[in-house]
Structure 1
Amino acid sequence: MRVISPSQEGALHASSCPCSGAHHLSDLAYLFHLEILAPLDPAQTRLADEVIARWSAFARTGNPNLPGSTTWPRATPLDPSVQSLNPAGVTRTDFATEHRISFWRSVDR
């Protein structure tokens, strides 16, 4: 299993949406040309190309890694890091820390 965390920086939104950060469906503009979403800027276009190439590689081989790209390791129970997809670059991040999971778990009680 491989896990991603959609980045809040550079997230796309509908041109009429006052949204900020990553939100439901914001990743679709990286895969499809949708009229409802604002056009991609050059950095977002490069990220879209990488996302499509990684999804295609995964569909063909079961492995999303590409020559010359940041390695996307398999997720393990002992590694809290996930792949963060961002127009500024693809990096590893600690999902639980970045999304303040401990706080949200305390609110849910």
Structure 2
Amino acid sequence: CCWVHVGDDLANDVGASALCGAKAVWVDLDEEEYDQSASSRDPNKPQPAWSTATKEELEKRKKMDQEAQQYVSKRVTTLQMLPASIEEITLEEWAPAVRA
């Protein structure tokens, strides 16, 4: 079939795996439901206590994330969406072989 990579980090999960040939599912969790989302981190706002990233690192990360968005095969905002998204990707990959 195909390689499906699931991750919440646009640059390291989506961008990197897609460049290696994977179909990438971006887990961009709903901020209200999960109270966490890497995409909502703003370099100009206070960061979580566990973050050691400098403002410069966060700005660089934001740029890398923007560049990686072009490689998103599917985006899910809840974990319940994940199985259907993976199934859609695999069906899209299998469809040409089935028709041949």
Q: Same fold (TM over 0.5)?
A: no
TM-score range, shorter chain: under 0.3
Q: TM-score, length-normalised on structure 2? A: 0.26
More helix as a share of residues: 2
Normalising to structure 1: TM-score of the pair? 0.25
Bigger relative contact order (CA 8 A; separation at least 6): 2
